[in-house]
Amino acid sequence: MKIYIYGTVILMVVFVFTAGIHANFIKFPVTKNIHNVYVADFNKDNILVGFSDNIFIGKVNKEIETVDFAKAPVTKYSVDIISNIKGDFKGEVFVYQQGGYKNGILFVVEGGDQIVSGKAESYLLHPGYTYVFATVKNHILKGNLLLSHPNAIELISKDDNASYELLKKNSENNETVIKFKKAYINEEISKFHVDNENSFLSLPVEKQQELRSEAEKFK
C-alpha cells in the first residue's frame, strides 16, 4: 500500500514539476541567448528609425502571454501610449518582445545582457514601467514586434504612479527620445524593409516642416 502512496506522491511531484516547468511556473536560474543576424545596422539611429514602423513612448500595463515564434518564445504585452515619435498610436497597443520563459528557462536575444546590466533592470518588459519602443508590424504575430536589437528600447521611467502627462513631459528630455526625433527627419529606409509604414517622406509637408523645426531646437 505504502508503495502505491509513495508512487502516487512521486508521480504527483513529477507531474507538478513537469507542469510547473511547462507553464513556466518554475523558473531556472538559466538564461539562453538567441542569436539573430540583422538585415540592417541598427547601431545607427537613422537606420533603426527608418526600419521601424512605429516609435513611441508607452507604459507597460501587463504581460499577456508567451507564445512560440521561430522555435523561441516571444512575450506579448499590453502597452498604453504616452506619445508618438513615429506613427500615430493611440490608447492601448500590443507589443511582442522576442524572448521570455520557455520550459522554465529565460531566453533573451543576444545583446539583451546589455539591457539587463545597464539600460533596464531586466530583459523582459516590466509592467508599470515606461519605455521608448521601436517596433515593426509583424503580420505573423498580428501585432507590433519590438525590434530585438538593444538600441530599439530604452527605459524612460519606473514611476508607476506618475500621470501620463508627467511621463510625456519627462520623456521629452530623454536623450534617446531626442536622438530618435532627430534621426526621424534623416531616416534611412533599408531596401529590405519593403512594407514600411509612417516614413518621414510619407508625412504631409507641413508635418515634415514641423518635425524639422522641432529637431532644429535640439542642435
* Residue 166 CB, nearest approach to other proteins (Å): 32
Q: Which residues contact 125 (CB under 8 A, 6 or more apart)?
A: 60, 63, 75, 77, 95, 97, 131
Q: Is 69 in the site for other proteins (CB under 8 A)?
A: yes
Type and span of the H or E element at 48: helix 45-51
Q: Which residues contact 123 (CB under 8 A, 6 or more apart)?
A: 99, 106, 108, 112, 113, 115, 116
> Of 69-77, 116-124, 125-133, 201-209, which segment contacts other proteins by CB under 8 A?
69-77
Q: Is 192 in the site for other proteins (CB under 8 A)?
A: yes
What distance in Å separates the CA atoms of residue 143 and residue 132, rounded to the nearest whole number?
A: 17
- 4-25: burial string, b at 16+ Cβ within 10 Å, e else: eeeeeeeeeeeeeeeeebeebe
Query: From residue 92 to residue 131, what is the string marking binding to other proteins with x (rule CB under 8 A)?
Result: ------x----x-x-x--x---------------------
* Residue 163 CB, nearest approach to other proteins (Å): 33
Candidate list 90, 139, 217, 219; residue touching other proteins; CB under 8 A: 139
Q: Is 189 in the site for other proteins (CB under 8 A)?
A: no
What residues line the site for other proteins (CB under 8 A)?
A: 30-42, 51, 53, 69-72, 98, 103, 105, 107, 110, 136-141, 145, 147-149, 190-195
